[in-house]
Amino acid sequence: MSITLLALAAAAAASPDAVVGRWKTETRNGIVEITRCGASLCGKLLSSDGINANPALKDSNNKDEKLRGRPLKGLQILGGFSFKDGVWNGGTIYNAEDGKTYDARITSVDPNMLKLRGCIFVPLCKNQTWTRVR
């Protein structure tokens, strides 16, 4: 790879909008659409193995009983991020499998790959790699 191509890839990865698009999660074939929400990001769950099997699947594991009836399809699971030094940080990610919300960070590795980190508190974190869906 030429130096010019490496520089372009690095610049694209550092761009705040590099994370905008549709992404496949590491687990359950989830598809999340990330969009800009003002200065921040929002991410909605579009589909997953569970949603494909039951499009009316509810947020039944939510810690808040009042939210357990809401549909998972279209649910905002990412929000509250700010961009600095090539990283979206300070946001949260909701995990419908356990009904909990975690502190999160999103880093664009390249135009087709994101690294997500969700933490109860550092160092108790889990990492995932998401790939762009065309």
**Per-residue pLDDT tens digits for 73-117:** 999 999 999 999 999 999 999 999 999 999 999 999 999 999 999
The number of domains in the chain is 1
* Residue 6: its H or E element: helix 3-14
Domain assignment of residue 75, given as a range: 3-132
Report the half-sphere exposure of 89 (CA within 13 A, side-chain side).
Answer: 4
> In this predicted model, what pLDDT tens digit does every residue of 57-73 receive, in sequence order?
999 999 999 999 999 99
Can you tell me which residue has the tokens 């009836």?
69
CATH for 23: 2.40.128.520
- pLDDT at residue number 123: 87
Mean pLDDT over the full length of the chain: 91
- pLDDT at residue number 87: 96
Please determine, for residue 7, whether its predicted confidence score (pLDDT) is greater than 90. no
Q: For residues 128 and 110, what is the distance between their CA atoms, to the nearest angstrom?
A: 15
Q: Span 44-49, mean pLDDT?
A: 98
- pLDDT at residue number 5: 42
